[in-house]
Structure 1
Amino acid sequence: MTQFRLARAARALMLAAAVLLLAPAAAPARSATPDQIAHYLESYDYDHAAPLNAELSTRSDSGTYTVHSLAFDSVNGERVPALLFLPANGAPAHPCVVFLHGYGGDKSMANMFAPSLTGGGLAVLAIDAQYHGERKQPGKNVLTTDADNNRAAFHQSIMDLRRAVDYLETRDDIDASRIGFLGVSMGSFMGAVFAGVDARVKTALFIVGGGGWDEFFANSQVPPIVAIREHCGKTGAPLATFADSMQSVDAVYFVGLMAPRPMLMINCSDDIIVPKQNAELLFEAAGEPKHIEWFKCGGTGHIPPPGKTQILIGKWFKKNL
């Protein structure tokens, strides 16, 4: 092993110890060991200098902001489609919010937030997660009864977010020292890992996100998770073993690395998709400074009040980005 690899391994072990020390109360029922966490952290290493081969074209111009179609190279030979929203006014180098949609959605979900964010002088970069949007593949999904498939899809999407920041660093009109993250549902699960392993993210805001696969697989009522429970019941495979095999993409093991970068969570106390317990696990695993806003949302409890959510988002990024 080279001196570089030894140093990297030592750093990973130190980070793993920090994760456990930051949030001892939040450890899932079946905790990963420090050596395992160090191994997981190393799996997020990559060559930042790898060519992006970015392609950009103007899609629309509202007068207050422009929307551009973007594609860039990620790890594992993946090509990532994205949307880049640039404000018409503001400082020459804009802060930027990286956005990731929820399960079953795509990058166009950023249109819900881009008008207000660009109005505040922020750029927005939204990508399609693996097997979503332009990356859909017949018979492929990020949540299936194949835990290895799920882990690989989550890991790929997290790496794609890191490559998105690499792209932002190439642009003169983006202030790469002021990168934030906004994720919704699945986007928050992935984003909490991303923000933990990538120190370039200055602040993060998670909407109806959570962590802790053991509890999530046991309690969530989202259809693919129900299907996983039924599959394990029929085959006799322990649900906890299924959850264990996805530890390397479990947000509770990584979100603590964000500290002292600030984090905001917006959750629904009556959520049956991301149960309250999972939101609490993620919040407890995070270091300070952090804050959580709770709403009683009705229905599936997975959609916080849009108006209040938009206000919270605007205030948070104005203060922290």
Structure 2
Amino acid sequence: MTNNVFLAASICLFLLVTNSFAQKDDLPLHLFSYDKTVPLALTDSVIGHEDNVAIHRISFASPVADRVNGLLFVPSGKGPFAGILLQHGAPGTAMNQTPRGVYVARHGAVVVAISAPFAERSGQAIQLTPADSVEQVTYMINLQRAVDLLLSRPDVDPTRLGYVGRSHGGAMGGLLAGIESRLKTYILAVPDGGLISHFTIASGEPADQLPIPVEQRKRWLAAMMPIEPIRFIHRATSATLFIQSARQDEAVSTFASEQLHKAAPAGTVVKWYDAGHRLNSQSYVDQLSWFHDKLGTTAPGPADQNGPNFPPPATKP
């Protein structure tokens, strides 16, 4: 079978499976179960303060791996606060989430950002081998443990929990929404349907973006298909969803975005932005407004209009 024929077949299979699973619940949910009695064994140290937000470096035990590393952002005051998971893209780590964490936390939320498993090792974030599926399952379990961490804090209101993730973190939020019922709302910024969607689907036509041998591709697709986020997002009926997509997105095609929108449960709010994959300042203001409406955090004000205080891009010498 030629590469293009195989890829076309895989895309057809992908669309067939995602459409069929929109009506079914025979999904491998057992993969995301974990021993909830494992102690968090949390380590926590304050590493700075910004805009009345304390920034903590944290680490806690994973039931299926070693340690989960990340950042914790705690606003001043006594609370109770909302609790929000904040997830990075690929490649990336929790450690570069400080501008976004502070931006959200100063509105009355304890924010947890953890590093994805791929951020804890060397090499490419996505390996295009079945190891990616192992890491994705581990990631979901670690995110559920991050919810456990939020719920263990007396300054967090357990009825006001949310999630915001961008790019890969947005796609993973679609998967988490299908398996984690304790969060009240999810914001998925510039997501696609998952790694298969990202690497094999462009404008609805075959797009050979997997420069690997055919047999390796078959093994990778077989490992990733069962846990592709687009297959799970329809189960997110106990939470509200806000999906932010970009019309000039250079990383996520309009077709891939629309496939995820179609798979999402009824009532999902979708907003398109005239922007690229990085979105724009309005998208961040909209996130604050969404959390204000759904979780009771404070509304965005004049100081929020430019978005998070990202450092300027590095200049070439």
Q: TM-score range by the shorter chain?
A: 0.7 to 0.9
Alpha-carbon distance in 2 for matches of 1:320, 1:253:
25
Alpha-carbon distance in 2 for matches of 1:164, 1:183:
14
Match of 2:60 among 65, 72, 75: 72
Aligned to 2:294: 320
Alpha-carbon distance in 2 for matches of 1:154, 1:131:
9
Match of 2:231 among 229, 253, 256: 253
Aligned to 2:269: 291
Match of 1:309 among 283, 286, 295: 283
Q: TM-score by structure 1 length?
A: 0.79
Match of 2:15 among 24, 29, 41: 29
The 8 Å contact of residues 96 and 178 in structure 1, kept in 2 or not, is answered as yes
Give yes or no for the alignment of 1:209 onto 2:191. Answer: yes
SS at match of 2:149: helix
Give ranges in structure 2 of 5+ residues lacking alignment. 1-12, 296-317
Give ranges in structure 1 of 5+ residues lacking alignment. 1-26
Aligned pairs for 1:160-309 (under 5 A) are 160-211=142-193, 213-219=195-201, 229-231=210-212, 235-237=213-215, 242-297=220-275, 301-305=276-280, 307-309=281-283
State the percentage of identical aligned residues. 23
Letter in 1 for 2:193: G
Higher helix share: 1
Match of 1:114 among 101, 107, 110: 101
Structure 1's 220 and 149: CA in aligned 2 closer, same or farther, altered over 3 A? farther
Structure 1's 59 and 227: CA in aligned 2 closer, same or farther, altered over 3 A? farther
Deviates more, 1:284-293 or 1:237-246: 237-246
Q: Over aligned residue pairs, what C-alpha RMSD do you find? A: 2.6
Match of 1:96 among 40, 58, 83: 83
The 8 Å contact of residues 166 and 191 in structure 2, kept in 1 or not, is answered as yes
Tell me how many residue pairs correspond in the alignment.
Answer: 278
Give yes or no for the alignment of 1:143 onto 2:117. Answer: no
Alpha-carbon distance in 1 for matches of 2:155, 2:231:
34
Deviates more, 1:255-264 or 1:96-105: 255-264
C-alpha displacement of 1:176? 2.0
C-alpha displacement of 1:184? 0.9
SS at match of 2:164: strand
**Which runs of at least 4 in structure 1 moved beyond 3 Å after TM superposition?**
36-39, 212-215, 236-242
C-alpha displacement of 1:295? 1.8
Deviates more, 1:245-254 or 1:198-207: 245-254
The 8 Å contact of residues 95 and 121 in structure 1, kept in 2 or not, is answered as yes
The 8 Å contact of residues 46 and 55 in structure 2, kept in 1 or not, is answered as yes
C-alpha displacement of 1:213? 4.9
